[in-house]
């Protein structure tokens, strides 16, 4: 992975975390145990600190950045969907940020909450635990059910397992044709089902 020390601060990655080789880590970045960081993610700790706590995942093309002296944090088991941008905010434990959502400075997403795909969470926004956050600008629409939280948790477990599976990732040249009886990727028995609320 491209990893850069800046002003004497070198990114820290726990040995049990998986960081895709195309992800970029710069400066004051701390990646905790069992985290997953996907392809082309950018973690720029060149102004503020970037932290992923244990079991968090940051999927492909996500960006984490912040203003000087700020912390941008994904707490334990936080889950950030493809293309999301986190800037100087805090994502609570076991919360989910949907695909292409943007969460701005000093916003605090409550534990076990879900921010819908494409939402724009304004600076200094806060929400209670287990909130459904929707829209642009985002607002809380209701409390999540325990079933919806369980759906999110199952998805996060899939990404924690994916981090382990990626130990078998090998760079290779593509084939020129599909093989006869091509196998399919097998999934864990805990594969999440689609939720209707997001």
pLDDT band at 187 (very low <50, low <70, confident <90, very high): low
What is the residue range of 30's domain? 3-143
Residue with tokens 């800046």: 6
Asked whether residue 132 carries a pLDDT value surpassing 80, the answer given is yes
d(C-alpha 65, C-alpha 43), whole Å:
6
In a domain, 189, yes or no: no
Q: Report the first-to-last Cα separation within the chain, whole angstroms.
A: 33
pLDDT in tens, 21-66: 999 999 999 999 999 999 999 999 999 999 999 999 999 999 999 9
**C-beta of residue 165 within 8 angstroms of C-beta of residue 187:** no
In a domain, 198, yes or no: no
pLDDT in tens, 80-114: 999 999 999 999 999 999 999 999 999 999 999 99
What is the pLDDT, as a whole number, of residue 71?
97
In a domain, 154, yes or no: no
Asked whether residue 167 carries a pLDDT value surpassing 70, the answer given is yes
Upper half-sphere CA count for residue 33 (Cβ side, 13 Å)? 0
- Looking at the structure of the chain, the number of domains it has is 1
Supply the CATH number for residue 91's domain.
2.160.10.10
What is the pLDDT, as a whole number, of residue 196?
45
Instruction: Give the residue-averaged pLDDT of 152-178.
Output: 92
Asked whether residue 149 carries a pLDDT value surpassing 90, the answer given is yes
């Amino acid at each position: 992975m491209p990893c850069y020390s800046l002003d004497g601060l070198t990114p820290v990655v726990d040995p049990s975390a998986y960081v895709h080789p195309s992800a970029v880590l710069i400066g004051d970045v701390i990646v905790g145990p069992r985290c997953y960081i996907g392809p082309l993610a950018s973690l720029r700790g060149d102004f503020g600190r970037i932290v992923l706590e244990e079991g968090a995942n940051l999927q492909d093309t996500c960006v984490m950045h912040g203003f000087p002296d700020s912390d941008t944090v994904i707490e334990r088991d936080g889950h950030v969907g493809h293309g999301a941008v986190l800037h100087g905010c805090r994502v609570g434990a076991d919360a989910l940020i949907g695909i292409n959502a943007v969460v701005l400075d000093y916003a605090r997403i409550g534990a076990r909450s879900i921010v819908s795909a494409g939402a724009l969470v304004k600076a200094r926004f806060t929400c209670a635990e287990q909130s459904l956050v929707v829209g642009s600008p985002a607002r809380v629409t209701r409390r999540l059910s325990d079933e919806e939280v369980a759906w999110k948790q199952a998805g996060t477990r899939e990404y924690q397992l994916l981090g382990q599976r990626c130990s078998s990732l090998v760079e290779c040249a593509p084939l020129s044709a599909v093989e006869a009886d091509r196998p399919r990727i097998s999934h864990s028995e805990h594969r999440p089902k689609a939720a209707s609320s997001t």
